[in-house]
Chain A
Amino acid sequence: MMLKKIRLSASALLLVLISPCIFAKAALYLTEDVLFLSDKRQITSVDIINRGTRTGVFEVRWLDHEMQQDGVLKRIELGQLQHSLAPKVRYSPRRVTLQPGQSQRIKVALKRKAKQSPAGEYYSHLNVLTINDDLESTIELQQSADSEQQGLHVKARIGISIPVIWRHQVTAAKASLSVARAEGSKAKLRLEKKGQASLRGYIHVINQKTGQAAKPVMPVVLYPNLDNRLLELAVPDDNQEDLLVIYSASAKTEEAKDNALAQVNL
């Protein structure tokens, strides 16, 4: 209990530090950007925090996506995806009303029957959507006869989706990198995946003469529905022969050099 309190306090402190301004509405924060379940760890959670100055109403739901060759996620109707995690988990609560500064933990747990599922990686996105970012004003407007506003406004209902992944009796996927085409300052790399699980990592382009990163790190994810992706890289002409491309689970170049999942010389 004490640990949880300290964790939340630390999170809150960090949020205060990174908050760019004082919000005039409810502001949606999540404490995780990905959740993992396993056959051993059958429950996971994420905290929703309202760091705004007004009461917010948030809806929690599942969304399914498939990854396209270009890395863009395409929304699939819930229940259509072969490896959708949504029908295999329980979660609660599904709608929360949070006053400024309040938080709510959303728990996700595997259903008992889920263990009987065929081996594979199951995934869905947990989506938290802001239904109302100023509950006080909504109530005031409903009570007021004069609810006219100046001009036509189109309100954005904002949401965040994070992947929830359950690797059920599958081992980590293996990666390989190859140069599909290199022309002048542009190179096309093929990242291939072997195995049922997804690949989650970063592309590092390293100048072998200096040992330094030649380009900013690029995150690359391969969902289970893909077995390869073509990646376009813009590289400087002058040192193309000295470039090493590494795919690693680490975003830090120094760590990536020692923990490469795959690599290729350009």
Chain B
Amino acid sequence: MKKIYFLAISAMFSAACSQHVLAANPESVSVNVTFVDTVAIDEVNPLSFGLLDANMLNAETVVISPDDTLTDAQNNRLGGTAEAAEVTVTASAGQAITISIDNISSGTHYTLANPTCKYDTQSAGACTSQSQTSVATGALLIGMTLTRNSTSMTTGVDNGSFDVNVTYN
């Protein structure tokens, strides 16, 4: 009887050992993958006033609103595309962000002012600084007022620029 017990235990022990040896053979390799919430902003199109009349008078204005509505009381626009600037903001949704426009660099013959923004489905408003809740991908539309200054006109390209910053609170 003892012999049978001994054989059975020996068999179980060797079976367990062989299992252990087999199990140790394949090496497990850990794979580390980290998905991150990216933050991105890119310009779809610049703020375009198109072709303006070189005879535009001092203090006359052309206004482009975020929905591309044009206000040009003196008909200074001669053609070309007139549209609000559009940038796409890709962010982790549901974060508090502040959108700001600054460093507005006017041209030689005009000044730029009154930046107006429309972010995603929110209503348009002054965008020197705007508090918003981010969406995964949202369009930011920017309009401005162009006012002719008193500098003598020379025809040609006279482009300006401004900074758009999306700041995570």
Per-residue A-contact encoding for B58-94, CB less than 8 Å = 1, 0 else = 0000000000000000000001110001011011101
Is B34 an interface residue, CB under 8 A from the partner? yes
Q: Return the CB mask of A48-79 against B: 1 if under 8 Å, else 0.
A: 01011000000000010101001111110000
Least distance between A138 CB and chain B CB atoms (Å): 13
Q: A10-B33, A73-B98, A157-B161 are in contact. Are A133 and B167 (CB under 8 A)?
A: no
In contact, B42 and A161 (Cβ under 8 angstroms): no
State the CA gap A242–B34 with chains docked (Å): 40
Q: Which of A33, A73, A155 meets B37, CB within 8 Å?
A: A33
Q: Are B48 and A160 in contact (CB under 8 A)?
A: no
B169 touches A73 (CB 8 A): yes
A240 part of interface (Cβ distance < 8 Å): no
In the complex, the answer to whether B165 meets A161 with C-beta atoms within 8 Å is yes
Minimum CB–CB distance for A127 against chain B, Å:
7
Most B Cβ at <10 Å: residue of A63, A153, A160: A153
Whether A152 contacts B157 in the complex (CB less than 8 A), given A3-B32, A72-B129, A251-B94, comes out as: yes
Q: Which residues of A contact B114 (CB under 8 A)?
A: none
Q: Does residue B12 face the partner (Cβ distance < 8 Å to A)?
A: no
By a CB distance below 8 angstroms, the chain A residues around B91 are: 33
Knowing A70-B131, A156-B85, the reply to whether A33 touches B95 (Cβ < 8 A) is yes
Known: A33-B168, A125-B167. A152 touches B40 (CB 8 A): no
Whether B169 contacts A67 by the Cβ 8 Å rule is: yes
Q: Does B57 contact A (CB under 8 A)?
A: no
Which secondary structure dominates chain B's binding surface? strand
- How many A residues have CB within 8 A of the partner chain? 61
The answer to whether A153 touches B46, judged by C-beta atoms less than 8 angstroms apart, is: yes
B100:A156 contact, CB within 8 angstroms: no
**Whole-angstrom CA separation of A31 from B39 in the bound complex:** 6
**Cross-chain contact B94 with A149 (CB below 8 angstroms):** no
> Of the candidates B85, B92, B130, which one forms a contact with A72 in the assembled complex, judged by CB atoms under 8 Å apart?
B130
Distance in Å: Cβ of A226 to nearest Cβ of chain B: 12
Q: What 0/1 readout, one digit per residue, does chain B (129-169) give for beta carbons within 8 Å of chain A?
A: 11101001100001010100000000011111111111111
Q: Is the CB of A166 closer than 8 A to any CB of chain B? A: no
Q: Does A139 contact B (CB under 8 A)?
A: no
Chain B residues contacting A147 (CB-CB under 8 Å) are 157
In the complex, the answer to whether B161 meets A156 with C-beta atoms within 8 Å is yes
Q: Given the complex, which residues of A lie within 8 Å of B32, measured CB to CB?
A: 3, 6-7
- Cβ contacts A to B, 20 pairs, < 8 Å: A20-B90, A25-B43, A27-B40, A28-B40, A31-B38, A73-B98, A73-B131, A152-B49, A152-B158, A154-B112, A154-B144, A154-B160, A154-B161, A156-B163, A157-B162, A159-B41, A160-B40, A162-B39, A217-B94, A218-B133
